[in-house]
Amino acid sequence: MPLGANSYGKSGVRLVRIARREGRHDVQDLTVAVRFEGDFAAAHVAGDNADVLPTDTMKNTVYALAKDRGAEEIEEFALALSNHFLGNNPPASRVDVAIEESLWNRLGWTAFEGSSNERRTARVSRSRSGVAVESGLKDLLILKSTHSGFSGFKRDAYTTLKETTDRILATSLTAAWSHASPAGPFAGSWGAVRRTLLDAFAAHESLSVQHTLYAMGEAALDGHPGLSEIRLTMPNKHHLLVDLSPFGRKNEHEVFVATEEPYGLIEATVTRNAQRSDS
Amino acid sequence: MPLGANSYGKSGVRLVRIARREGRHDVQDLTVAVRFEGDFAAAHVAGDNADVLPTDTMKNTVYALAKDRGAEEIEEFALALSNHFLGNNPPASRVDVAIEESLWNRLGWTAFEGSSNERRTARVSRSRSGVAVESGLKDLLILKSTHSGFSGFKRDAYTTLKETTDRILATSLTAAWSHASPAGPFAGSWGAVRRTLLDAFAAHESLSVQHTLYAMGEAALDGHPGLSEIRLTMPNKHHLLVDLSPFGRKNEHEVFVATEEPYGLIEATVTRNAQRSDS
Amino acid sequence: MPLGANSYGKSGVRLVRIARREGRHDVQDLTVAVRFEGDFAAAHVAGDNADVLPTDTMKNTVYALAKDRGAEEIEEFALALSNHFLGNNPPASRVDVAIEESLWNRLGWTAFEGSSNERRTARVSRSRSGVAVESGLKDLLILKSTHSGFSGFKRDAYTTLKETTDRILATSLTAAWSHASPAGPFAGSWGAVRRTLLDAFAAHESLSVQHTLYAMGEAALDGHPGLSEIRLTMPNKHHLLVDLSPFGRKNEHEVFVATEEPYGLIEATVTRNAQRSDS
Amino acid sequence: MPLGANSYGKSGVRLVRIARREGRHDVQDLTVAVRFEGDFAAAHVAGDNADVLPTDTMKNTVYALAKDRGAEEIEEFALALSNHFLGNNPPASRVDVAIEESLWNRLGWTAFEGSSNERRTARVSRSRSGVAVESGLKDLLILKSTHSGFSGFKRDAYTTLKETTDRILATSLTAAWSHASPAGPFAGSWGAVRRTLLDAFAAHESLSVQHTLYAMGEAALDGHPGLSEIRLTMPNKHHLLVDLSPFGRKNEHEVFVATEEPYGLIEATVTRNAQRSDS
């Protein structure tokens, strides 16, 4: 049988790097994934491993290059890793390197506390013909306690939802934006785009999750000319107004039950150029 | 800014359906996700919800149709749901319905115990021009205690891995196979493909994860003419031989430490026709 | 400041042991935790580690003894480990060893598939004056689709729950039973007690979770004279009847929504002797 | 068979409370658990529910009282809930209320982002003879990049660990402290104790996890006279120095692999009075 699309690599390479400068340390906490695509049919069909760089070697390489390079933006580290792997493995046609950074806040010169669940992300996809760099964040919890509604929607025989002009809008934001140039600069860029997204979220008069998602994407592209497009994923973490009327109380948008399931799931890409549709 | 690819829907719709037959019950435990693609630019750009069927309505519809249809294969339920939604929502160009089934074993006429973590899955993707049906499984833990090796691989300056002709091969299998026809029949099909995959795994003289993955995919297509292709994802859940020599003992492939991170990640599609490459 | 109760140890020691017998293998998949109590005040107050056996050494010992002893019931392995540690560490006044076993089903002579989420458990608590052995299971999903009701309960101003004589009763069972003698025998015992618990669950005409919990505990003590008491934990995994009346359908106990939060939590110990021990 | 210790209640009551003040909102995100102990033998043995307040009613009561009381310290809310339940349910001999608060940071007048994984906790245990109030935190990630060692420990035949005077010390801190008086005041107290714990962690010259744990507990009691004791749980999240020598590099305490399993687990209580209470 013909072999179709295939890939292999190492995921979950957990790396903590301490940059030591005269008593003041910086900590970088990364999880790296490396993924090769290419001509590996012999390995699959015949069990011939001659072209297969072990994933254990990929892991070793991540640690060795982490030592050599020292602290840097995760986009730069991903660029370096993908360059190393693609250059040294002719059977690979594409190497993707994805890095997630867990953030730490400073407690002292050499002590830290974990920041939120949010992860800073970078993904470099390098082929023989070019390289694409994506930055992003994932699992950032955000919530608007008002300035959010949902009304005027389509109704059918199964619709029981009430219209509302005042609800909680909460999501666990995942976003990834593409850089027009793989050359960066990346320093400062991530924090600036993140700030734009959060400001747009906080300021928006939301008519739906889609409406706010688009406003955030548009603000990111408007404010950061180096971005070519941005993809946002916003699960709607529903907060339901508790019905207190059986107990003789009126709930004036004060007490909500937070639910996990089911959840709305809203995804969209906003692009700078009409031609691009990501399909 | 132009809106690119976008979708919305409801995920995590948790449904338990009891089929009651004269004292003997059957239980079906499903998690349903519905997803619309289409022309929803007005909702994003202008906050105009006139074309937006609420995801709450999607949830209600799942429950109402579950009542109407009664027990059936999850592929059939997904076909029915996607047909309902695409037919009643002109702005939608595509409706995907994904169902995960948690399996229960019988303890008595009306009592059950949970089966494994494994989920049976189905995904129907229906557009104005056609419909595709995929069946699968996810998170099925399987392990070979021998008949597995890894040697003859590429080495470079960062390679420290030793060759082995006898190791544990363990994975959490996820697989999805496409049906050549959306008409089925689906009854019995899922269990038969699953059995073929497990038999191939158990019998294989494995030279690598890729090698075993391909053998499993090939066996599925060979044994089941109704399948057009199959995609397998096999994280390599490494089991490391514990070095007991510091304690004066020899570990003859008896005592292993199971690790979670890092893990190899192997993915490939096996197709029936050479032309298809899934890219 | 005085140091109060304290303990230290190693948790999450992941061990897979392969018993190899002429082509037929058995696999045992264990997670071991070791915990010392005793006079370790100097370590806490002064940083004096002279009496502190490193937790890394505990881990090494688990692997070395696993090699020496070969396959056995987990209660026996825990007894042996606790005996080793207490005997060799005079400052320790008590050593607890807890083992969780993940179960595998056979696919072939040397191939296996993961069983359910359920874990078989054992806990040995050994002090200078004696030893106690507990066996158990955790996270076993069980469900009754009928023969379960809840009515006649206390009502107050905040009660809106309707009485029912037919509901789904589902839980994720955790149970632990104490052996009157630490000498066992343990072979076959675990499966027999488990079977008694499941049979009682399946057969019970349930008037509440408490009612079924007690019936299960009573059946275990009645059927197994070697047990001195049993503790059961049964979260009530609520399954709510979906209201289909807005859509013109009647839900005759067929379609339920499974919920995760909030959940009832019911716990009790059933003892053989009135003078209960765990006050 | 005699019924031993037993309890029942509702867990996972998810509550978001918005305090609305002229355009400026505050958000409080709580998960509440209520637990009754008492004379509920008839419910267990005979299925007689006359004394059983449904856990659904407990949930309703949490929401109703949340509305009545408005924003307050979680200790105060737990005190009020336990008072309500014990006062209205004569068969209950003890009511425990545990609250976990997820913290949010302000993005704007009515917008928020999730803080870390850390949870603020409170537990009130109220019986007919008195009430105890505990405050705490859980799952707070903290890390020292130096000023931490482990040496001079006990060695035996299974010890391979090397001594070190410079290692990473990282943990996910859980702590709970008892208030000498249930009257509080609680406002400001939680943040102040938390700050003392973090300052002690950052400043400590650590000779072991036990050593640092004790120093943190001692600092909390020293700095806060209203506390009677504190219990700390500190899993040792091991960070292993990567051996780069096979690749011709020297790792000068820069590159570490973060591991999840196995982990050391260190727990202790520090008390103000020598006659310890928690035996």
Spell out which residues of chain A touch residue B45, defining contact as CB-CB under 8 Å: 214
Give the confidence band of D275 by pLDDT, cuts at 50, 70, 90: low
| Residue B276, pLDDT score | 43
Whether residue C151 and residue D49 make contact (CB cut-off 8 A), yes or no, is yes
Spell out which residues of chain A touch residue C246, defining contact as CB-CB under 8 Å: 160
CA-to-CA separations, A116 to A25, A202, B185, D239, in angstroms, rounded: 20, 19, 49, 20
Query: Which is nearest to C238 in space by CA: D6, D12, B62?
Result: D12
Instruction: State the best of C49, C85, C227 to mutate against chain D, taking most chain D CBs within 10 Å.
Output: C49
d(CA D266, CA D269): 11
Minimum-distance CB partner of C4 among D64, D160, D278: D278
d(CA B130, CA B152): 46
pLDDT tens for B127-186 read 999 999 999 999 999 999 999 999 999 999 999 999 999 999 999 999 999 999 999 889
Give me the architecture of the B137-279 domain, per CATH.
Roll (3.10)
**Is residue B27 over pLDDT 90?**
yes
Please state the ipTM of this predicted complex.
0.94
Quick one: how far is CA D2 from the chain centroid? 34
Question: How many CB atoms lie under 10 A from the CB of residue D177?
Answer: 26
Give the confidence band of D277 by pLDDT, cuts at 50, 70, 90: very low
Would you please indicate which residues of B are annotated as catalytic (active-site) residues?
10, 55, 238
In CATH terms, is domain C129-279 a member of 3.10.270.10? yes
- Comparing alpha-carbon positions, the chain C residue that sits nearest to B251 is C67
What are the b/e assignments for D208-247, b being 16+ CB within 10 Å? bbbbbbbbbbbbbbeebebbbbbbbbbbbbbbebbebeeb
Measured in angstroms, the CA of C154 and the nearest CA of chain B are apart by: 28
Q: What percent of chain C stands above pLDDT 90?
A: 94
| Residue C94, pLDDT score | 98
- From the list C31, C55, C269, C271, the catalytic residue is C55
- Comparing alpha-carbon positions, the chain B residue that sits nearest to C15 is B257
Give the confidence band of C83 by pLDDT, cuts at 50, 70, 90: very high
Helix runs in chain B, H state only? 41-46, 55-69, 74-88, 189-203, 209-223
The two domains D1-128 and D138-279 share their CATH topology (first three levels equal):
yes
| Residue B278, pLDDT score | 41
What lies within 8 Å, CB to CB, of B37 at 6+ separation is: B5, B6, B7, B92, B93, B94, B95, B96
d(CA A88, CA C187): 56
The torsion of the CA quartet D202, D205, D211, D217, rounded to 10 degrees, works out to: -40
Measured in angstroms, the CA of D23 and the nearest CA of chain C are apart by: 31
Spell out which residues of chain B touch residue A265, defining contact as CB-CB under 8 Å: 7-11, 33, 35, 55
Measured in angstroms, the CA of D27 and the nearest CA of chain C are apart by: 20
Whether residue A114 and residue D140 make contact (CB cut-off 8 A), yes or no, is yes
Give the residues across from B116 on adjacent strands.
Answer: C116
pLDDT tens for D197-216 read 999 999 999 999 999 999 99
What are the b/e assignments for A237-274, b being 16+ CB within 10 Å? bbbebbebeebebebeebbbbbbebbbbbbbbbbbbee
**Vertex A236 angle, CA B125 and B31, to 5°:** 45
Mean pLDDT score, D5-32: 96
How many contacts does A have with D, using Cβ atoms within 8 A?
A: 180
pLDDT tens for C214-225 read 999 999 999 999
d(CA A54, CA B162): 10
| Average pLDDT, rounded, for chain C | 96
pLDDT tens for A5-63 read 999 999 999 999 999 988 899 999 999 999 999 999 999 999 999 999 999 999 999 99
Q: Is D56 exposed, middle or buried (0-12, 13-18, 19+ CB in 10 A)?
A: buried
State the fold for domain C1-124. Answer: Urate Oxidase (3.10.270)
pLDDT tens for C168-223 read 999 999 999 999 999 988 989 999 999 999 999 999 999 999 999 999 999 999 99
**Is residue B62 over pLDDT 60?**
yes
Give the confidence band of C274 by pLDDT, cuts at 50, 70, 90: low
- Comparing alpha-carbon positions, the chain D residue that sits nearest to C276 is D4
- Comparing alpha-carbon positions, the chain A residue that sits nearest to D62 is A255
Phi then psi for residue D244, to 5 deg, are: -95, 0
Q: Is D195 exposed, middle or buried (0-12, 13-18, 19+ CB in 10 A)?
A: exposed
| Residue D23, pLDDT score | 87
> Where are chain C's structural domains?
1-124, 129-279
Give the confidence band of D87 by pLDDT, cuts at 50, 70, 90: very high
| Residue A276, pLDDT score | 43
Spell out which residues of chain D touch residue B261, defining contact as CB-CB under 8 Å: 259-260
| Residue A124, pLDDT score | 98
Whether residue B247 and residue C64 make contact (CB cut-off 8 A), yes or no, is yes
CATH class, B1-128 region: alpha beta
Minimum-distance CB partner of A63 among D25, D239, D255: D255
**Is residue A274 over pLDDT 70?**
no
Instruction: State the best of D22, D27, D63, D245 to mutate against chain A, taking most chain A CBs within 10 Å.
Output: D63
Quick one: how far is CA A138 from the chain centroid? 4
d(CA D81, CA D99): 11
Spell out which residues of chain A touch residue B262, defining contact as CB-CB under 8 Å: 10-14, 55, 59
Spell out which residues of chain B touch residue D161, defining contact as CB-CB under 8 Å: none
Active site residue C162: no
Strands A263-271 and A227-236, by their bridges, are antiparallel
Mean pLDDT score, C235-252: 97
Mean pLDDT score, A249-274: 94
Strands C24-38 and C92-106, by their bridges, are antiparallel
Whether residue B14 and residue C259 make contact (CB cut-off 8 A), yes or no, is yes
- Comparing alpha-carbon positions, the chain C residue that sits nearest to A160 is C246
d(CA C123, CA C175): 12
Do D240 and D255 contact (CB within 8 A), yes or no?
A: no
Give the confidence band of C277 by pLDDT, cuts at 50, 70, 90: very low
Whether residue B142 and residue C114 make contact (CB cut-off 8 A), yes or no, is yes
Mean pLDDT score, D140-161: 98
pLDDT tens for A167-191 read 999 999 999 999 999 998 898 999 9
| Residue D68, pLDDT score | 97
CATH class, A140-271 region: alpha beta
In CATH terms, is domain A7-128 a member of 3.40.50.1370? no
Spell out which residues of chain B touch residue C203, defining contact as CB-CB under 8 Å: 108
Minimum-distance CB partner of B108 among C64, C108, C202: C202
Instruction: State the best of A69, A113, A119, A144 to mutate against chain D, taking most chain D CBs within 10 Å.
Output: A113
Mean pLDDT score, D227-239: 97
Measured in angstroms, the CA of D96 and the nearest CA of chain A are apart by: 21
pTM, two decimals, is: 0.96
CATH hierarchy code of domain D138-279: 3.10.270.10
Whether residue A18 and residue D111 make contact (CB cut-off 8 A), yes or no, is no
- Letter for the amino acid at C32? V
Give the confidence band of A273 by pLDDT, cuts at 50, 70, 90: confident
Question: How many CB atoms lie under 10 A from the CB of residue B118?
Answer: 22
**Is residue A279 over pLDDT 60?**
no
**Is residue A197 over pLDDT 80?**
yes
Spell out which residues of chain B touch residue D259, defining contact as CB-CB under 8 Å: 261
Mean pLDDT score, B204-214: 98
Measured in angstroms, the CA of D168 and the nearest CA of chain A are apart by: 10
Phi then psi for residue C210, to 5 deg, are: -55, -40
**Is residue A84 over pLDDT 50?**
yes
User: CA neighbours within 13 Å on the CB side: how many for A4?
Assistant: 19
D partners (3+ CB pairs within 8 A) are A, B, C
Measured in angstroms, the CA of D155 and the nearest CA of chain B are apart by: 13
Q: What percent of chain B stands above pLDDT 90?
A: 94
- Give just the sign of the alpha carbon dihedral C45, C49, C50, C54: positive
Instruction: State the best of D155, D162, D247, D256 to mutate against chain B, taking most chain B CBs within 10 Å.
Output: D247
Of A209-218, C16-25, C189-198, least confident by mean pLDDT is C16-25
| Residue B275, pLDDT score | 54
Mean pLDDT score, A195-211: 98
pLDDT tens for A257-269 read 999 999 999 999 9
Query: Which is nearest to D45 in space by CA: C232, C274, C211, C222?
Result: C211
